[in-house]
Chain A
Amino acid sequence: MEIKTDDYRICYDPETITVFCQGSLRLSGMAEYAPIAELLDDIASQEQSPVVLDLQGLEFLNSSGISMLSKFVIKVRHKKTVTMIVRGSKTIPWQGKSLKNLQRLMPSLTLEWDE
């Protein structure tokens, strides 16, 4: 499964239960994010574990995008048996500042950093 434009690419690998977000996500609000949110909802509802959210290629995320990813984390949190791993990149400064918030939503979430 893949959603791709000139600015970003979201793709899901069911074998590893990993969703990759790459590029720049700055859509204008929840309505525009709906196709991506639906893909994430589907992944959360499958209740496979662990779910991996790979953001190592996500250079930019606006606040509506932060809201969308946090909704995904909360949906996964509601599936009590599912664990979650978020992969971030130390070379992308916004991630160092903001990814910790996902962990505050779901304390059992593991944050993994590349170097």
Chain B
Amino acid sequence: MTTTTEAPAVTPVAAPRKLSYVKAFNEGLAQAMREDENVFVAGEDVAGYGGVFRMFDNLLDEFGPRRMIDTPISEAALVGLGVGAAARGLRPVVDLMFMDFIGVCLDQIVNQAAKMKYMFGGALSVPLTITTASGAGLGAAAQHSQSLEAWLAHVPGLKVVMPCDAYTAKGLTVSAIRDDNPVVIMLNKVLLGSAGEVPEEIYGIPLGQAHTARHGSDVTVIALGRMVGEALAAADELAAEGVEIEVIDPRTVQPLDTETMFASVRRTNRVLVVHEAVTFGGLGAEIAAQIQDSVFDYLDAPVLRIGAPFSPVPFSPVLEKAYVPDRARIAQGCRRLLERS
């Protein structure tokens, strides 16, 4: 007789499964590949190496070299390969590694992928998914740290998603691959290792639907990508001061769910838009303009924008930290808005 056999039976509690952002992306991609034989992945070092950010780990083992293709460092040909293959009925996932590299293949994204359906009179679709890593915070300097969502969101025909956590990384990835349009997934480099609860089964998050990450009555903070986490942290800080912040994560910046934002503005009457990209010409300007067009009468203060200064991303950590908006600046912005009226 031993104590272990006499121990009372414990009902196992289904602990929510935590997964890192990058593994959540990887799982969503693998499930989408299992779901549809037409999905393949092409990019630089995606197959043998698994991607420089480990985004494609283990996929070569499961899917083999037919569906996991290492290509030369040739982004224009890589995206073009995806456009041609998509035009012929496949669902390519092409990886651009760092978002900064889109400059060398922008023609294929902007003039080919985005416009083909329209210019061809609707004769075909381009179900192309482009994955890339954006954002500062890794000391990668000005050519490896940008957030260029405004460039892409400006182009009719493209969709752009910015997952803020592991759960959305998986769901938006699945939806992007299932979508019949060219979609760019901007994975945030700083978030790659961050863990969150992620269901094991395959699921999609609708493109073009914003998510209210936190409900509040005093200020609406519309935050893109990694700024969602910073806004939630700012909201915790402000809650201690008795201020309730509503945090809206658009999840998809093109198409942009303005209705959810407008509804929030009608409740809070104050808006702060925050993104990691340079403020000038950024999406904050677009969102602010749309709010003023549609719900101006509900505003108790002008829409406030927070973004990066008009500078390339600096290298030195002290400069980079000053460059990227953070919870403190968001909290300060909310206080400023509340001081008005």
Co-complex (A, B): no
Q: Which chain A residues have a beta carbon within 8 Å of chain B's beta carbons?
A: none
Q: Which chain B residues have a beta carbon within 8 Å of chain A's beta carbons?
A: none
